[in-house]
Every structure is written in C-alpha cells, then in structure tokens.
Amino acid sequence: MTVSLHIHGAAGTVTGSCFRLVTAHGALLVDCGMFQGPKSLRALNYRPFPFEAAGIGAVLLTHAHIDHTGLFPKLALAGFRGRAWTTPATRDLLHWLLPDAGAIQENDVERLNRRNARRAEAEVTAIYTKADAEASLELLHPIAYDRWFKPIPGVRARMRNAGHILGSAFIELEVDAKPAPIRLVFSGDLGPLEKALQPDPTPPAPADIALIESTYGDTVRERLTEAERRAILGRELTEGLKAGGNVIVPVFAVERTQEILDDIAALKRAGEFASVPIFLDSPLAGRTTEVFHRHHAALERSADGHPFSTGDFRLTETIEQSKAIGRLHGGAVVLAGSGMCDAGRVKHHLKDHLWRHDSTVLFVGYQAPGTLGALVRSGLKQVRIHGEEVRVKARIRTIDSYSGHADREELVNWARPLLAGLATAILVHGEADSIAGLAEGLAAAGLARERVAVPSLDQSFELVQRDGRWTAVATTAGAEAPRLPAEEASARRDWHNDYAQILLDLRGALRTAPDDRSRRRLLQEMRRVIGAANGGR
C-alpha cells in the first residue's frame, strides 16, 4: 500500500498550513490555512488548490487561527463535501472568524475594484464571500479531546490539547498498514508553558513521523511569572499614556485580545493601573470573547475574578464609533485588529497615530515578514497605508511575553517522548533561522540530523518501511512544479515591499533635494534606468 504526505503550506514560512495525507482508502487534509505576509505569498490564496477538493474525504483543523483555517470555505466552494473535524471550542470560534474573513475579502475587493476602475484595470474577485463562509460552517463536526475517531476508512485520529489558544489541538493519526500501523503527529501550533489562560500542552504519544512547528525554534525566552508579565504590560501602558497620546495595541481577535483584557482587569482590580478608557475596537474580538465565556471551564486561570471582568472596557461595534475613537488624541488605550496590521480597523488607527510623536504603538504578537506590523516594528521611518505615505514618529514598543508559541526549549521538551522512536521529523511553520535553530535543538536532544526534513512548498513524501519502521522519504515522482519558488515563499520581503519603499525613498529624496534642477536630474536618471530595463523603449 502506498501512503504519501504532501506539504501545501507552512513550508519555509509560518502561514498557510495545509498538509495532505493520501492512502489507499482516500485522502485527508490537516488544516486548510490562508497565507499571510508579502503580497507574493498572499497571491497563493487566489490560485487553485494543487489537488482536487472533491477528492478530499475529510479535513482535520488544529485550531481557529486563519492561517490554519482561512481557506476552508474556498475548499468547500471547490467541491469538498466531507466532514471537517475540530474541537467544540474551535467550531464555535470559526462560527465568527470565517464569515468575518469573507466579509474582509469582500470589502478589500470592493475597494481594489474601485481603484482598478479608475486605472482601467481588470476587476478581481474575492476568494470567497461572507455567505460562502457561513455555508461552509455546516461541514464542521466537533470532537472532544483525546477521543479516537475515523475521519476516513483505514485512518483513526485524535485531537490532543496543544495549549496554543482556546480549543487548539495537535493531532495524532494512525494509518492501517502492514506490518504495523503508520503513526503520525501533526503539532499544529504549540503553546508555551505557563501561558495565560491555557493549560500546558499534552505530551505526544510515540510516533514514526512528526510534523513539528518551528515558529520560535531559534528563540529562548526569559521565563516570567504571571505577575511579572502583568507588571510589564502595566508599565508599558502607563508610560505610553504619560507620553501624552493614545496607546494603540494591534491584537488578534482570538486569545491575544482576551489575554490582554484579562491582565488589564487584574491590574485594575489590584489598583496597579489607572482607570482610563480601554477601547476594544473589534466587533469580532467582542464576539469571540463571548466564546471564551462559554468555554471558561477550559481556561486555566488564577482565582482573582471572572474572566475579563471590569467595567472600563468599551466595545465599539460600528464604523462611526471607531472613527470617533480616532478623534481622541490622548488618554486612551485602543485594542484593535488585526494583529499583524494588514487588515481591519487597526490600519486606520495607525494612519491616525503613527505620525504623532506622543502616540505609542505596542506590539504584543508575532509579525509575519512583509506585513505592515513587521515593517513598523523593524524601525522604518515611513510606511504606506491605504496608498498614502505616513511618517513614523510614534513610540514603537514590543512585549514578547504574550507569545502563543513555544520557544526552542519548550518545543524540544514537548517532542522528547517522540525522539527515541521517531524516524522523520518534518519541520514546518517557520522561517529558515527558526527551522535551523529547532533542528539544532532536536539534535542536541538526541535526534540524528539525517532524521530531520525541511520541506519546500508542495513537496511530497512517500511513507516507506526502512530498518523496521516507517519513515518519510522525499520524492519527485509525479510531482508538479511548486506554486512559488522556495526563495520567494520564504522571503521576508517581496518586490511589492521594495516598490513601496522606493516610492517613499523617492519622495524623500525629492523633498530634500536642494533645487528643482537636482530633482529633474534624479527623475531623468530614474527614467533612464526604467528605459534600459524595458529595452530602451
């Protein structure tokens, strides 16, 4: 019997999680996520799947984040009609997250088509609409942690607590085979130890092949207690408000919002943070917070009150309410989505505040390469938002203690139960440095380097018996060319980022040139270079 594994996302990059397992009895997907980051990478979201959606018998979703689930409605539109298995909390979160993703795409496409019409360019179509996403929710099928089930014939699986966000799971699979079942583990995203709100990840059972996330595989963080983490947050918020402007906190609607709200509430109850207005400018975050309330028994918390309990949080539902916040220029904390600043209301707040020297932007989450958040955090002095140039004069601050991902030590310790019998560790969900760091950590823990595989986008592995155990062997037999070359899939910036930077640099050079003659010379030189690139035309 031939069994193969195909890596259709999160290869050399963090986002776009999608892994296809093909057996003699059928095929299944683990995750069906959206690519985030540079435009060249995001363009993959619009391209056809590299497989037939109707040929997929089941989907197993590790957790609700869009980079793991965001293309599921597209899969349903393309012909998938099986069950999508996930935990009950993830199902409830996706009830809000997927339709919101569809609505964002509709709004973005409407704005882009208005611009294209002015430029006489072709219209574009949304990947899927809000209605499409709502229709796909009917395919979600909840399953409790630690309960074995059969997603397709010849395969059994179970979800296990990953400690990443509410409802997150890593997945253990067993495929019927001779002389023994093939045992696989898909880590999904693993949370750190002592994470706010979530219990520690469950140790995995022994396996032959494991796909392990490596987002922070090259990082070892300082260990902080809950009190120390809250104190850092309180200090950053207090100093930001003392600077005279508002504090803008880009947040993800799931988990990061709830963690920050919970810690602010605790600081206020303890009298360690002033009574100032806290705006939650994200209707989606407000709705997902209700899901946290519904599943509060699953949260790991201290005994200092009900989750997110304070009277100072103000949820803004309407666009008008959000715009009203933009007219406040001091004394408020604004939590707004999205966490990487590439969509949502936070872009408007950044546009309003980045140019103000007394404002503060406080990053509390991962910023994928090429995103607006990553560009601001990197120290750029100018950025483009909604096609406009914005100077960066605000205070830019970062707190790393709210990460939802395990660091290298935590990843290696989680994987230790696997190492003795593991034939192949496939490192995914990471950039090159992170993957190399995790590979080094696993080697130090005793996993031979020849057992570590680093896949490229759309790479295939055949699962074969060697030395009495199942291993994954990279194959090119029947493989099509990857949808994006490896160097582009893993690039921190693409030509779109470079183009935006050149526009900013050109404007700056023209502004500071001593006279109009110098400005004309600069423009003539640029025309010469462009003409040479176009063959002298």
Domain boundaries, the chain: 3-220+404-489, 227-398, 498-533
Of 53-57, 69-73, 466-470, the one with minimum mean pLDDT is 466-470
Say whether pLDDT at 154 is over 90: yes
- Give the confidence band of 511 by pLDDT, cuts at 50, 70, 90: confident
| Residue 537 confidence (pLDDT) above 60 | no
- 302: pLDDT strictly greater than 50: no
Instruction: For 326-347, give the secondary structure using H, E and C.
Output: HCCCCCCEEEECCCCCCCCCHH
Rounded to whole angstroms, how far apart are CA atoms 423 and 513?
Answer: 62
| Structure tokens given for 133 | 């996403």
* One-letter amino acid for residue 200 of the chain: D
Residue range 227-398 in CATH 3.40.50.10890: yes
Residue 303 has pLDDT above 50, yes or no: no
Domains 3-220+404-489 and 227-398 fall in the same CATH topology: no
Residue closest to 280 by CA, chosen among 295, 301, 299, 259:
259
Residue showing tokens 């600043």: 341
Work out the average pLDDT over 157-167.
97
Residue range 448-474: average pLDDT?
A: 94
Pick the residue with more confidence: 149 or 302?
Answer: 149
Q: What is the pLDDT of residue 273?
A: 86
Beta carbons within 10 angstroms of residue 318's beta carbon: 9
Confidence of residue 66 (pLDDT cuts 50, 70, 90): very high
- Which residue would you say has higher pLDDT here, 356 or 525? 356
Q: Does residue 493 carry a pLDDT above 90?
A: no
Residue 180 scores a pLDDT above 70: yes
Q: Is the pLDDT of residue 351 over 60?
A: yes
What is the residue type of 364?
V
What is the CATH code for 3-220+404-489? 3.60.15.10
Looking at per-residue confidence, does 79 or 2 come out higher?
A: 79
Q: Are 375 and 497 in contact (CB under 8 A)?
A: yes
pTM: 0.86
* Range in 323-332, 423-432, 439-448 the model is least confident about: 323-332
- CA atoms 189, 190, 195, 199: torsion sign: positive
Helix axis angle, 408-419 relative to 432-444, nearest 10°?
50
Report the candidate in 159, 148, 203 with the shortest Cα–Cα distance to residue 181: 148
Q: CB pairs under 8 A, 24+ apart, for 495-500?
A: 495/40, 496/38, 496/39, 496/40, 496/370, 497/38, 497/39, 497/370, 497/375, 500/383, 500/384
Which is it for the CA torsion 481, 460, 204, 414, positive or negative? negative
Q: Model confidence at 464, in pLDDT bands (50, 70, 90)?
A: very high
The predicted structure's pLDDT at residue 80: 98
Residue 257 confidence (pLDDT) above 70: yes
Sequence-distant (6+) residues with CB within 8 A of 13 are 35, 37, 41, 368, 430, 431, 489, 490
State residue 104's pLDDT score.
87
The CA distances from residue 450 to 23, 220, 385, in Å, are: 25, 24, 45
Whether the predicted pLDDT of 490 surpasses 70: no
Which stretch, 18-22, 102-106, 288-292, 342-346, has highest mean pLDDT? 18-22
pLDDT reported for residue 241: 95
Q: Do 209 and 429 touch, CB atoms closer than 8 A?
A: no
535 vs 155, more confident: 155
Chain position carrying tokens 């209301």: 345
**Tokens representing residue 64 in the block:** 């609700």
